[in-house]
A and B are shown apart, each in its own frame.
Chain A
Amino acid sequence: MSRRSFLKSSALAGGGLMISFTWLSAFTPAGREEEPVPTGKWVEINGYVKITPDNVITILNPNPEFGQNVMTSLPMIIAEELDADWQKIVVEMGPHDSVKLGPQFTGGSNSVRMYWKPLREAGAAARQMLRDAAAQAWGVPVEEVTTKAGMLYHGKSRKSGTYGSFAAKAAGLPIPKGVKLKEAKDFTVVSRSKKNVEGLKIVSGKPLFGLDYQQPGMLIAMVEHPPAFGLKLKSFDAAEALRMPGITDIFRQKLYEEGFEQGGFDTRTFNELLVVVGKTTWQVMQARKKLNVQWEPAGDIKDIIGGWGQKREVVVPGELESTDAQLQKMKEYAAKPAEQLRKDGDPETVFKNAAQVIERTYNAPFLAHNCMEPINFFAHVTEEKALLVGPLQAPGWTEPTLAKVLNLPADKIEIQMTRMGGGFGRRAYGHYLTEAALISKKVKAPVKLVYTREDDMTYGIYRPLYTATYRAALDANKNLIAFHVKGGGIPEHPIHANRFPAGAVDNYLAEGWEIPSNVTIGAFRAPRSNFNAAAEQSFLDELAEAMGKDPIEFRLELLKRAKENPVGKNNEYDADRYAEVLKLVRDKSGWNQAANQKYSRGVAAYFCHNSYAAHVVDMVMRDGQPYVERVFSAIDCGIVINPDAAANMVQGAVIDGIGNAFYGGLTLKNGAVEQRNFYNYRLIRMHEAPKKIDVHFVQNNIDPTGLGEPPFPPVFGAVANALYKAAGKRFYQQPFGPQLTNTTAL
């Protein structure tokens, strides 16, 4: 019997020792997959650690994995304090159980940050309980019981035993409080690169992802959504589609009833869908082509949005929007008075009297997340309970909604988290679980809801359409004396009013405005920052040039000011850490070395999600087109748990940033998304990726902060600034690529 089947049978006979286990979830760092069966039962020491009597130690990862390495790096934190042998442990995806496993969401670059302390404490407490158990059994003082790699020792009496042999006794002991945690200098797992525990499964094509999930008797469901924002389903004729092979059902399905109070992440694009259910994916795809559907204007829709103790009514306008008109409307709004978000000093007067005013406007388009694994989810809903399996960033945000729409108590809803084929924010919005669950309930069968790539791209929750106008006032000596940013967007503005350079300029004004829209938007890797860093860091580059200053030295001057004599209150960033990444990237990139000046070099730095990132982008012309050949990155995210995996993620963020800066963009025509698949939504490919991305982490002992998002935003600024050097002109509209194709000047 393999370990996998052992786990299944032990789950049945578990007697409370074994918590729910799925086919998806056990791995060993050493890459062993099918293990000889350990005998005996799992003993749960706490929610994160369980051990068999013959010393198989399993660590549960609490948080959904979407490529940010938490399946490896979070268990590493526990293993460190538990003093388990990393090569011998088993890592398992935890169940959705926030009582035992904490907040369980992947978003805001928070996984490591929010779990750092609880996981250390869980590991340390488990180790302490094992030591207590051994001390009692051996009749020796607990202080004399030491541990190493899953073993307990008493030196004086030369006694030793495995964790497993004391697990049952340990589990009965009280959970100790205030256990001393290791000092960073004593780490042996944390900050040592460990291989992805799921690596072998990934390279051998084992089922891992939601789309891979199958159950006997499972049907495939797809949804036909309105072809444009602002339309809704009027009527349909499914007679021909129903005659297609394998098709079992076609019906209209509403998500939320009138007056439904949506949670903060219940964002949904269309409230009524046409559902096609059949035996196989291909059969359902074919049947969809035979549908005869009529759509009609939806008109204005009133949404009731709750969550976070607030309740508000939002009128979603019914207009069929086009991007050209949206951009025109944004120009009109930008000229109107806006909401003041922060003001220091007397910017109005200073601008009026300035020797020179520099003003620039930046735009960036809607972006689709385009996770490689299209949206999907499995659901099996009965009168009594619901099982949902698939890719989701935050089960706890969707479960209350499922409970309401299914009219089931939350404890009858089980959500299993699969590895995700990308997330980038898209899978924080669990409307597709609601869809899958309602479909399963209706057809009374296990169902996997699958979006095609086209569904995924045109039925999205996009990065908003953004614009910002930056103004700087200089005195006669070219000193920066006032700074003004006014930003807006459809449907939200991008401004972080308390971020740099707020705090570094005496007279400062930040304003924001918003235009309501029926285009659904949401979190996209470093929300708002991913635009701000592009605009602001391009603007600072242009300012430095106007002032005759080196762009890095100019930023360091501002940060020095913010440190020594900060302006205003609530400045969000630590000026020292910000300056540190700039200095590090300056030094590592050889910023001032003559030999490097053959490159068109651009620099940018940004603070978001509690971490600091700076990049130097080195651009060359290749076949008449600008190409980013190499990049230097400096990051301060505090202690780095898994350095090699962290570097991988930074490299990925850099490539993601280059790709989106050059090619990313989603447009609308009469409410319809104009891009449908990767032939007209361009993603960066291998030959467009740099040859080299050098990643340098600031070495410190600050508790870890975030890494998934912070390296991403400043890439846009660094690319824009390098592009200026390469092209001899500034680009203010993203994506840059289409403008370059039309530029003969290059």
Chain B
Amino acid sequence: MLNLTINKKAYHVDVDPDTPLLWVLRDTLGLVGTKYGCGVAQCGACTVHLNGEAVRSCVTKVSRAVGQKVVTIEGLAEKADHPVQKAWLELDVAQCGYCQSGQIMSAAVLLRENKNPTDADIDAAMAGNICRCGTYLRVREAIRLAATSQRKAGNG
């Protein structure tokens, strides 16, 4: 039995400790917002937060998450109102939408660490997240928008 804390909730799972976190989330716990895209940390669709850091859950053994804090797209904000999620909706970023939870999870860490990212900062932080529909321009713009609203909220 492994004890996990995901989105502030405790879970006990009986799985092989080598199982990637991705498949525990999806198959065992039914948290399917975290996506499978490549399985080899190339596309970023499976990005989650492990103790606040963006990790690729497809190559992160579940044993690494034991006793740690995991946040998935479902738990990023209780009412799906994280500044990044709001910006994504405001600019209607998604096309097919499949990669977007990974994009959002990467962007959320970027904005926590860097309140005012330049385009170069955004490009560097988001280079690991592939969008096959090509929504990159809107992803960039949404990150800028989220940064602005986050700064405003912080100052206000």
Q: From the candidates A68, A200, A644, A690, name the one contacting B80 in the complex (CB within 8 A).
A: A200
Q: From the candidates B43, B73, B95, B123, name the one contacting A678 in the complex (CB within 8 A).
A: B43
Q: Are A419 and B97 in contact (CB under 8 A)?
A: yes
Q: Mark B88-115, 1 if CB is under 8 A from A, else 0.
A: 1100111111111100100000000000
Provided the pairs A202-B100, A692-B137 are in contact, do residues A372 and B35 lie with their beta carbons within 8 angstroms?
yes
Q: From the candidates A212, A423, A645, A649, name the one contacting B32 in the complex (CB within 8 A).
A: A212
Distance between A583 CB and nearest chain B CB, rounded to angstroms: 25
Q: Is B131 an interface residue (CB 8 A)?
A: yes
For the complex, what is the distance from the CA of A69 to the CA of B96, rounded to whole Å?
8
Q: Are A199 and B89 in contact (CB under 8 A)?
A: yes
Q: Mark B15-27, 1 if CB is under 8 A from A, else 0.
A: 1100110010011
Residues in B with CB closer than 8 Å to A195 are 89, 92
Q: Are B27 and A280 in contact (CB under 8 A)?
A: yes
Residues in A with CB closer than 8 Å to B38 are 453, 677-678
Residues in B with CB closer than 8 Å to A220 are 27
Q: Are B127 and A687 in contact (CB under 8 A)?
A: yes
Distance between B18 CB and nearest chain A CB, rounded to angstroms: 9
Residues in A with CB closer than 8 Å to B119 are 691
Question: B12-47: which have CB < 8 Å to A?
Answer: 15-16, 19-20, 23, 26-28, 30-40, 42-43, 45
For the complex, what is the distance from the CA of A178 to the CA of B81, rounded to whole Å?
46
Among residues of A, the one whose C-beta sits closest to the C-beta of B27 is A280
Q: Are B132 and A370 in contact (CB under 8 A)?
A: yes
For the complex, what is the distance from the CA of A421 to the CA of B43, rounded to whole Å?
14
Q: Give how many B residues have a beta carbon under 8 Å from the other chain's beta carbons.
A: 59
For the complex, what is the distance from the CA of A66 to the CA of B127, rounded to whole Å?
24
Residues in A with CB closer than 8 Å to B37 are 372-374, 453
Question: A181-239: which have CB < 8 Å to B?
Answer: 195-196, 198-200, 202-209, 211-212, 214, 220
Q: Are B96 and A66 in contact (CB under 8 A)?
A: yes
Among residues of B, the one whose C-beta sits closest to the C-beta of A376 is B36
Among residues of B, the one whose C-beta sits closest to the C-beta of A208 is B97
Q: Is A400 an interface residue (CB 8 A)?
A: no
For the complex, what is the distance from the CA of A199 to the CA of B90, rounded to whole Å?
10
Provided the pairs A202-B100, A205-B72 are in contact, do residues A651 and B134 lie with their beta carbons within 8 angstroms?
yes
For the complex, what is the distance from the CA of A683 to the CA of B134, rounded to whole Å?
10
Among residues of A, the one whose C-beta sits closest to the C-beta of B124 is A687
Q: Are B80 and A372 in contact (CB under 8 A)?
A: no
Q: Are B95 and A282 in contact (CB under 8 A)?
A: no
Q: Are B33 and A281 in contact (CB under 8 A)?
A: no
Q: Is B135 an interface residue (CB 8 A)?
A: yes
Residues in B with CB closer than 8 Å to A245 are 16
Q: Are B98 and A373 in contact (CB under 8 A)?
A: yes
Residues in A with CB closer than 8 Å to B127 are 685-687
Q: Are A686 and B89 in contact (CB under 8 A)?
A: no
Q: Are A677 and B122 in contact (CB under 8 A)?
A: no
Q: Is B126 an interface residue (CB 8 A)?
A: yes
Q: Is B2 an interface residue (CB 8 A)?
A: no
Residues in B with CB closer than 8 Å to A649 are 95
Q: How large is the interface on A (under 10, 10 to 19, 20 to 34, 35 or more residues)?
A: 35 or more
The prevalent SS among residues of A at the interface is loop
For the complex, what is the distance from the CA of A241 to the CA of B118, rounded to whole Å?
50
Provided the pairs A203-B89, A205-B32, A205-B101 are in contact, do residues A679 and B134 lie with their beta carbons within 8 angstroms?
no
Distance between B81 CB and nearest chain A CB, rounded to angstroms: 9
Q: Are A656 and B134 in contact (CB under 8 A)?
A: yes
Q: Are B138 and A651 in contact (CB under 8 A)?
A: yes
Point out which of B15, B27, B119 has the most chain A C-beta atoms below 10 A from its C-beta: B27
Q: Is A497 an interface residue (CB 8 A)?
A: no
Among residues of B, the one whose C-beta sits closest to the C-beta of A66 is B96
Q: Are B94 and A196 in contact (CB under 8 A)?
A: yes
For the complex, what is the distance from the CA of A655 to the CA of B138, rounded to whole Å?
12
Residues in B with CB closer than 8 Å to A209 are 35, 98
For the complex, what is the distance from the CA of A292 to the CA of B72, rounded to whole Å?
37
Among residues of B, the one whose C-beta sits closest to the C-beta of A421 is B98
Residues in B with CB closer than 8 Å to A651 are 134-135, 137-138
Besides A199-B88, A205-B74, A211-B35, 18 other A-B contacts (C-beta < 8 A): A68-B95, A196-B92, A198-B97, A204-B73, A204-B80, A205-B31, A205-B73, A280-B15, A280-B28, A281-B27, A282-B23, A283-B16, A372-B35, A421-B96, A422-B96, A453-B38, A685-B130, A686-B131
Q: Which residues of A come within 8 Å of B, CB atoms? A: 31, 66-69, 195-196, 198-200, 202-209, 211-212, 214, 220, 245, 280-283, 370-374, 419-424, 452-453, 644-645, 648-649, 651-656, 659, 677-679, 683-687, 689-693
Q: Which residues of B come within 8 Å of A, CB atoms? A: 15-16, 19-20, 23, 26-28, 30-40, 42-43, 45, 72-74, 76, 80, 85, 88-89, 92-101, 104, 119, 122-124, 126-127, 129-140
Nearest 10 pairs of A and B residues by beta carbon: A205-B33, A421-B98, A655-B134, A67-B96, A205-B73, A652-B134, A687-B123, A689-B136, A204-B80, A202-B97
